[in-house]
Structure 1
Amino acid sequence: MYNIIIIFVCLLLGLILQKVKRFPTNAYKLFNHIVIYYCLPSLALFYIPKIKLDTHLLYPIGVTWIGFTTSILVFSLLGAKLKWSRKLTGCLIMTAGFSNTSFLGFPIVQALYGEEGLKMAILVDQPGTFVVLSTLGVLVATVYSTGRPNGLEILKKILFFPPFIAFLLACFMNVFHYDFYQYIQFGLQKVGSVMTPLAMLSVGLQLQFDKKSKHFKFLRLGLFYKLIFTPALIYLLYVVILGQQGKMIQVSVMEAAMAPMISSSIIASSYGLKPRLCSMMIGFGIPISFITLVFWWFIMRFV
Structure 2
Amino acid sequence: MYNFILIFFFLFLGLVLQRVKCFPTNTYKLLNKIVIFVCLPALALYYIPKIHWNNQLLYPIGVAWIGFLFSYLFFKFMGNRFGWSRKLTGCLIITAGFGNTSFLGFPIIQALYGDEGLKMAILVDQPGTFVVLSTFGILVATLYSSGSPSGIFIAKKILFFPPFIAFLIACVMNFSGFDFHQLFQLLLQKVGSVMTPLAMLSVGLQLQFDRKSKHLKFLGLGLLFKLLLTPALFYFLYVVLLGQNSKMIHVAIMEAAMAPMITASILASSYGLKPRLSSMMIGFGIPLSFITLAFWYLIVTYL
2:28 alignment partner in structure 1: 28
Q: Are 1:258 and 2:255 matched, yes or no?
A: no
Q: Which residue of 2 aligns with 1:183?
A: 183
Partner amino acid for 1:17?
L
By how many angstroms is 1:4 displaced?
1.1
Q: Which runs of 4+ in 1 moved over 3 A?
A: none
Q: Secondary structure at the match of 2:58?
A: helix
Give the distance between the partners of 1:89 and 1:149, measured in 2 at CA.
17
Structure 2 residue 297 is the aligned partner of structure 1 residue 297: yes
Counterpart CA distance in 2 for 1:2 and 1:288 is: 19
State the secondary structure of the residue aligned to 1:214: coil
Shift of 1:302: 2.5
Return the letter of the residue paired with 1:131: V
Name the residue aligned to 2:55. 55
What is the rounded CA distance, in whole Å, between the counterparts of 2:266 and 2:93 in structure 1?
13
| C-alpha displacement of 1:85 | 0.2
The residue number in structure 1 matching 2:228 is 228
* Structure 1 residues 59-208: aligned runs within 5 Å: 59-208=59-208
Identity percentage of aligned residues = 73
SS in structure 2 opposite 1:25?
coil
In structure 2, distance between residues paired with 1:179 and 1:81: 49
Q: Distance in 1 between matches of 2:12 and 2:64?
A: 29
1:27 partner letter: T
Q: In the TM superposition, what whole-angstrom CA distance separates every residue of 1:72-112 from its partner, at most 9, and x where no partner exists?
A: 00000110110000000000000000000001000000000
Cα deviation code 1:113-141 (max 9, x no counterpart): 00000000000000000000000000000
Paired AA for residue 254 in structure 1: M
Distance 1:280 1:200 in 2: 12
1:243 has 2:229 as partner = no
* 1:22-78 Cα shifts (integer Å, max 9, x gaps): 110000001000000000000000000000011110000000101100100000011
Q: Which residue of 2 aligns with 1:271?
A: 271
Cα distance in 2 for partners of 1:191, 1:238 equals 36
- 2:43 maps to amino acid: L
Query: Which whole-Å deviations, capped at 9, do the CAs of 1:233-260 have from their partners, x for residues lacking one?
Result: 0000000000001100000000000000
Q: Quote the offset at 1:211 in angstroms.
A: 1.0
- In the alignment, the residues of structure 2 paired with residue 126 and residue 120 of structure 1 have an alpha-carbon distance, to the nearest angstrom, of 10
**2: distance between equivalents of 1:302 and 1:44?**
35
Aligned to 1:13: 13
Structure-2 separation of matches of 1:251 and 1:150: 39
State the TM-score, normalized to the length of structure 2.
0.99
Aligned-pair CA distance for 1:150: 1.3
Residue identity matched to 2:61: I
Give TM-score, length-normalised by structure 1. Answer: 0.99
Tell me the amino acid that sits aligned with residue 83 of structure 1: G
Structure 2 unaligned residues grouped into runs of 5+:
none
CA distance in 2, matches of 1:84, 1:15: 29
**What code does the residue aligned with 1:113 have?**
Y
Q: What is the CA–CA distance in structure 2 between the aligned matches of 1:279 and 1:160, rounded to whole Å?
A: 25
AA in 1 matched with 2:281: M
Q: Provide the C-alpha distance between the structure 1 equivalents of 2:263 and 2:16, rounded to a whole number of angstroms.
A: 22
SS at match of 2:302: coil
